[in-house]
Structure 1
Amino acid sequence: MGLRNFLDSLIRRKKEQPESEALLRSFRLQYMHFKDLLLSNAELGTIMAEIDEKLRGSNLFSMSEIRALATRSVFHTMRMVTALNAISGNRYAVLPEMVEHINSRITGILDSKPQPAIRDYTFTMDAVDKDLVDVVGGKCANLGEMRNRASIPTPPGFAITTAAYEAFLNSKGLRDEILKLLREARPDAPASVVSVSEAIYRTIDGVAVPDDVMQALLQAWDSTFDDPAGTRAALRSSAISEDGILSFSGQYRTILGVRRDSLESAFREVLASLFSPRAITYRIHHGVSFEQCAMGMACIRMVDAAASGIVFSRHPVNPLSDEMVLNAVWGLGAYAVDGIIEPDTWQIKPGDPPSITLRNIADKPVRLVSDASGKHEESVPDHLRRAPCLEPHHVFELADIAARLEAHYHHPQDIEWALDADGRILILQSRPMRLAHAHHGGLATQAIEGAQLILEGAEIACSGIGTGPAVLAEGLTDLADFPEGGILVAPHSLPNYVLVMNRAQAIVTEAGSITGHMASLAREFNVPTLLNAKGAVSLIAAGGRITVDAITGRVYAGEVPELMAFKSSRSVRVADTPVHAVLRQVADQIIPLHLLDPKSPVFKPDSCTTLHDVMRFVHELCYTEMFRISDRASDAGSVSCQLKAKLPIDLHLIDLGGGLKDVDGPYVYPDQITSEPLAALLSGMLRPDVHVRGPRPVDVGGFLSVMSQHMLEPPTVQAQRFGERSYGIISDKYLNFSSRVGYHYSVVDAYCGETVSKNYITFQFKGGAADEIRRERRVRCIALILDRLGFATEVRGDMTQAKFQKYSLTETAERLDQLGRLLIVTRQMDMLMTSENAVKVMADNFMSGVYH
């Protein structure tokens, strides 16, 4: 090389280096957008599930909660849209406009309900019921509801409205100061939350309650209690959202032993508990902003409790049991609620008459009391330590109250009670029970004795009981004559099954995800649904009558009488309150899914009429755009390296940091890879036994299917053939691997490190050159293999998706190794899918280590 050429090469390298660095920075930014998109997709699915749960109408909730859910839904949808346009060069510019249209409809619905404009600072408890939940908060609304509509004995008292809270915050610039301080709270830095909380407490403590508010509080006190000067009261928090879906259990304060002259300081203390460190953190993690909060309060006369405790209207661990559970301790109930001492326990079986099925009297050495000297602990006299806190008639009276409250609220209740010195039972609080729910993996209960069990261990997407004839469906053609009251049984969960959800008694699929589209639709239609019911298609006979138990995840032959008591009406029960009606209208703009088929001509941005439509469209298109990004980056060889290995793909690697070592030139070799997930994936892909030696046996019919499909395709369809380049975006612990061969692609996104909670693998496979039947068989075979490897899987048409998350580095690496083998083995597999039997045979062979 001459001197001039040598100098020219140096100049070119110096010029290329900053250009390469700029391109790599741009690429990293685009990949950050892609990860944001995936995170918001997952969060939006969770929000939709929250809305579905609220629509059941079993629990009190306020307008502020609806606003918070709507705001979060729009935020995450727009974040997905923004990310998609960022990585596509604004290819879908109409999508933000569609989201804005949907948002404007949601805003119109929310604004059509006037915000509570209550000027009164107090209400008598006689005037309070659940319709005032936005004014007095959940706890106080429940107290009034029990007293006035359910005729349940409660202590006398009065309600303090959110108007008093607003008046206090609007004085002396308090609201603005709190907002300023809250901006410094970071959920990932607990010390900052504590510091902010302490600063807010000091600020609140330095501000007097406005004169007109205190005058109203004292007037209510004097008119409510017979002996205003001698009365001791409990001032209980009753925040907006409290005792609803988000319970805020234990987050806010209750002040005991409040007297007339200490009411102002107690008011400030309860209000300040809205800004305790745990309350701030709780709201941050649940997406509830300060602007959406308000604090009502219930001021009720103190009960000089001889005994107190809790009664559950249903068994808190086993909802299949109809027995109630009652706990009691001497003195105040805090020691029972907080588990300080072992309480007395009774189990009561409802009936006429009811009966006590279990009675366990504990040793209760101490009790908590509140008297003129304040709240304190004292020893229990020896003769009472092992004596029952309640007489049998008290037990049955509490059981009767619990049954009445469950019937009133149409939901099992968690009830706090107290027994006063005169032997009268008073109810202090009632809220919806958090049952051991079937959505969390089923209950530890035995199968129904004497019933013929077909399968168990399935996951619950929508709980309930369904019975009817089984209808086996492999595709949409099997749904044409779906009978009213049938039970759909299928290999995979498909959103297209929405076509029969209004007719189905239940749905059972062998695979699927509880956060998938079909699961969301099933909850919207309130269809009892089981997913990942292993072997359902082969074990359940077509036309045979079965019972689906979507409470414990089981399926039985025939009708099981013991479960019919738990079979509820298919119609969604929406409580008769304005706030539920508003939620239904808002949900109609968020949850329904109309874009079901990506091949349909209406699957386009301007067809999106709900946020779910936008979510589905963006998720469908994001992988196509990911290919385009990587093509642009790998075309610029200065920021990518080509892997030299014995692989049937042209793989280009882009290292975001720590994924490669000793790189010097355009090529890298397997021993230079330091990325944990890529090294694990390649260990499977490079195994000699997964590669075919010599000509691969190809079924003639399958080969002709591929050729005829290709020749019959119009030019516009042939244009969908993918390029041959594959790529990996890597770091030391991260991998995004995308492989394209002909008409199919596969995407692996993984994190593999020492922190178990961060580890995950997501996988997507789509397409093929054969006819639709063979393509669908291939993805079902892939899903079956991954399902056996412990992945959660979902199949839609000729696409399969799978997820494996929160396992150790070793287990995650092992699954990546298996996934690498599968990527090699599945090439041209669609040509071999000549029958349904081939799906299972190839899956069995793979799991046995027979790859060809």
Structure 2
Amino acid sequence: MTRSPSWPDAPLAVILSLDDPGCTAAVVGPKAAALARLRKAGLPVPDGFALAAPASEAQLREARVAQQVERLFEIVNSGGEWRRQAIAVRASLSRTPVPLEIADALRAASRRLRPPLAVRSSALVEDGVSATFAGLFTTLLGVLNIDDLATAVSACWLSRFSDVVIRYAIGRGVDLRRTSMAVVVQEAIDARSAGSALSIDPTGAIVISGAWGLGRAVAEGQVVPDWWRVDRGDFTVLERRGGTKPLAARLDPRGGEVWRRQTQRRSTAICLDDRTVHRLAALVVEAERIFGRPREVEWALDGRKRLWLVQARPLTAVRTVEQIPDSDPIVAWLLGGSVLEGQPTSPGQVLGRARHVGRSGRMQSGDVLIAASLPPGMTAVVAGVGGLVLEAGGSTGHAATLARERGIPAVFGLEGATHAIPDGAHILLDGTLGRAWYRLEDCPRTIDR
């Protein structure tokens, strides 16, 4: 595929090359628009195109569910029970193929790309500062042919009406009528390692996380990634922590992805050398300069050691957080207890009680949730917690983004936390330092603040 913005005429003007100046957030969603902007600036972004949001509305008309969808929106906005209506909408859409004229446009555009392809949602409300929808819509990698491409596009459209997305939209005050879905299609990178980076953290440094294989392992919190803190001036490594990466996702030659278990030696081997970290940090800072504000960037390193940028969303909750003074008697008492260290994830401190998923009764406001990981279906739980500790994951990734956008102090990659920190223990969680102090014995006075 060439870099020319000139594409075959398509019905509804649904197909836009990522080199097309018409790739704006209002048409193709913030995710695709950000990639187009980076590509225009000369940064390494995989070639591709966007299927504009009006195509998803055409699918609703094709399935004759426009009235059902409007009814769903009305029920949600009135606070009614919406799940049955959402199921009905999904059932109707799942039975309806991509409209023929849109499928023809996809076929023509995809011929200009080299498979395998990456197919990702780019909803019009996605990647916002206060509502990122991180990890809640559909991404499919390793798409090999036009039939699979049409199916992948349908899956992206369908994810707009998932229970997880609807719950999240309600919790963040997002009008579901604004969730019209564009789709971005790119040449997939068969990454040897991949991850995410924050252009600035509360200490003023760049933070990079990475693991072997595709970025899904980091994004979904399947591993404890390698972690770097890098100087924003000369890109020297200020701090480096090796992760535990027993799993790696790779592109399957037959299509899709496959998880592969790593040897013990490889699972603890650092996935990037310092020279590559230096190059990546420079790209991250350049991405921030292009957009004029901090960014969270997803990256991939291919087999030829070429770096690629595959997403650049606004970075949420970069702020200076007031610390609870060490002179506080409760803090002083907890600092004398046991401590575990993980990766700083979402800044801030919280004093509370440790609560394990499935072991406690109803979560109380201010409780610190302790879990092995946080699947997308549990995102609603996060809204009511005072702090969050996960054994897997790291400073970047979908769960980390969701914690930061809600201002919830969090430490991820805190291995062994579910066994070490008892349910009900008093806990001081510091998401800026990446540490958790805890004690099980009675507190000298109530910890409720």
| Bucket of the pairwise TM-score, normalised by the shorter protein | 0.5 to 0.7
CA contact (8 A) 1:436 1:443 kept: no
Q: Helix, strand or coil: the match of 1:305?
A: coil
The residue number in structure 2 matching 1:343 is: 225
SS in structure 2 at match of 1:422: coil
Residue 385 and residue 287 in structure 1: after superposition, are their counterparts in 2 closer, same or farther (change >3 A)? closer
Normalized per residue, the structure richer in strand is 2
1:361 aligns with 2:246: no
Determine which of 287, 290, 298 is the counterpart of 1:408: 290
Whether 2:128 is the aligned partner of 1:249: answer no
Q: Is the 8 A contact 2:63 2:93 kept in 1?
A: no
Q: Could you say which residue in structure 1 is the equivalent of 2:64?
A: 173
In structure 2, the partner of 1:300 is: 186
Pair 1:270-2:151 in alignment: no
Q: What is the aligned partner in structure 2 of residue 225 from structure 1?
A: 113
Contact kept in structure 2, 1:182 and 1:196, CA below 8 Å: no
Say whether the 8 Å CA contact 1:187–1:281 is kept in structure 2: no
Could you tell me which residue of structure 2 aligns to residue 398 of structure 1?
280
**Structure possessing the higher radius of gyration over alpha carbons:** 1
AA paired with 1:151? G
For 1:404 and 1:248, how far apart are their aligned partners in 2?
25
User: Which amino acid in the other structure matches residue 270 of structure 1?
Assistant: C
> SS at the partner of 2:239?
strand
Q: Which residue type is aligned with residue 247 of structure 1? A: T
CA contact (8 A) 1:129 1:143 kept: no
In structure 2, the residue matched to 1:9 is none
Would you say the 8 A contact 1:342–1:363 is kept in 2?
yes
Name the structure 1 match of 2:216.
334
What is aligned with 2:88? 199
Map of 1:120 onto structure 2: 13
What code does the residue aligned with 2:279 have?
E
Deviation string 1:648-692 (CA, Å, 9 cap, x unpaired) is xxxxxxxxxxxxxxxxxxxxxxxxxxxxxxxxxxxxxxxxxxxxx
Indicate yes or no: 2:330 matched with 1:432. no
Match for residue 35 of structure 2 among 136, 139, 143? 143
Q: Aligned residues: percent identity?
A: 28
Please point out which of 121, 137, 140 is paired with 1:237: 121
8 Å CA contact retained: 2:125, 2:178: no
**Residue 653 of structure 1: aligned partner:** none
Within 2, Cα distance between the matches of 1:194 and 1:300? 33
Q: CA deviation at 1:185?
A: 4.8
Of 20, 25, 31, which residue of structure 2 is paired with 1:133? 25
Where structure 1 has 5 or more consecutive residues not aligned to the other structure, the ranges are 1-117, 448-550, 553-754, 758-852
Question: Would the aligned equivalents of 2:18 and 2:36 in 1 still touch at CA under 8 Å?
Answer: yes
Q: Which runs of 5+ in 2 are unaligned?
A: 1-10, 327-346, 349-362, 366-449
> Counterparts in 2 of 1:358-507, with a 5 A limit?
358-373=239-254, 374-438=256-320, 442-444=321-323
1:283 aligns with 2:169: yes
Alpha-carbon spacing, 1:407–1:233, altered in 2? closer, same or farther (3 Å)? same
Q: Distance in 1 between matches of 2:260 and 2:323?
A: 39
Q: Counterparts of 1:642-653 in structure 2 under 5 Å?
A: none
**Pair 1:347–1:286, CA change in 2 (3 A):** closer
Distance 2:37 2:324 in 1: 35
* 1:47-92 Cα distance to aligned partner (Å, 9 max, x none): xxxxxxxxxxxxxxxxxxxxxxxxxxxxxxxxxxxxxxxxxxxxxx
Q: Secondary structure of 1:170's match?
A: helix
Distance in 1 of aligned mates of 2:166 and 2:94:
18
- State the distance in 2 between where 1:199 and 1:256 align: 28
Higher relative contact order (CA 8 A, sep 6+): 2
Residue 604 (structure 1) aligns with: none
Match in the other structure for 1:159: 50
User: 1:613: which partner in 2?
Assistant: none
Deviations 1:145-191, CA, capped at 9 Å, x for gaps: 1101x2210111111111211221222422112223444558867xx
Q: Distance in 2 between matches of 1:309 and 1:355?
A: 19
8 A contact 2:198–2:295 mirrored in 1: yes
Alpha carbons 2:68, 2:85 under 8 Å: kept: no
Give the aligned residue type for 1:420: D
Residue 198 to residue 146, structure 1, CA distance change in 2 (3 Å)? same
- Alignment partners' CA distance in 2, 1:193 and 1:234: 32
Structure 1: how far apart are the matches of 2:190 and 2:82?
37
8 Å contact kept, 2:63–2:92: no
Report if the CA contact (8 A) 2:65-2:89 is conserved: no
> Counterpart amino acid of 1:292?
R
Give the aligned residue type for 2:118.
Answer: A
SS in 1 for 2:13: coil
Distance 1:172 1:332, change over 3 A: closer
Aligned to 2:195: 309
Task: Work out the CA distance in 1 between the residues paired with 2:143 and 2:90.
Answer: 20
2:370 aligns with none
Q: Superposed, which structure 2 residues align to 1:547-696 within 5 Å?
A: none
Partner of 2:426: none
**In the superposition, relative to structure 1, how do residues 392 and 267 fare at CA in structure 2: closer, same or farther (>3 Å)?**
same
Counterpart of 2:14 in structure 1: which amino acid? Y
> Per the alignment, do residues 423 and 174 of structure 1 end up closer, same or farther by CA in structure 2, a change over 3 Å counting?
same
Task: State the distance in 2 between where 1:206 and 1:188 align.
Answer: 28
Q: Residues 614-661 of structure 1, C-alpha deviation per residue, up to 9 Å, x if partnerless?
A: xxxxxxxxxxxxxxxxxxxxxxxxxxxxxxxxxxxxxxxxxxxxxxxx
- 1:109-133 CA distances to partner (integer Å, 9 max, x unpaired)? xxxxxxxxx9311011111476x11
* 2:207 and 2:227 in contact (8 A); partners too: yes
Q: Structure 1 residue 347: deviation in Å? A: 1.0
CA distance in 2, matches of 1:129, 1:393: 36
Structure 2 counterpart of 1:255, which letter?
Answer: L
Q: Residue deviations 1:520-553, cap 9 Å, x none?
A: xxxxxxxxxxxxxxxxxxxxxxxxxxxxxxx99x
Structure-2 change in CA distance of 1:193 and 1:305 (3 Å): farther
State the one-letter code of the partner of 1:236.
R
CA-based RMSD of the aligned residues comes to: 2.7
Query: Does the CA-based 8 Å contact 1:185-1:196 persist in structure 2?
Result: no
| Mean Cα deviation higher: 274-283 or 172-181 | 172-181
Change (3 A) 1:414 1:445: farther
Change (3 A) 1:266 1:432: same
1:555-590 residue CA offsets vs partner (Å, 9 max, x unmatched): xxxxxxxxxxxxxxxxxxxxxxxxxxxxxxxxxxxx
Correspondence 1:508-527 to 2 at 5 A: none
More helix by share: 1
Aligned partner letter, 1:311: A
Judging changes above 3 Å, is the alpha-carbon distance between structure 1 residues 443 and 371 closer, same or farther for their aligned structure 2 residues? farther
One-letter code aligned to 1:288: V
Q: CA deviation at 1:370?
A: 2.4
Task: Answer whether contact 1:187 1:193 (CA < 8 A) is retained.
Answer: no
In structure 1, distance between residues paired with 2:200 and 2:126: 21
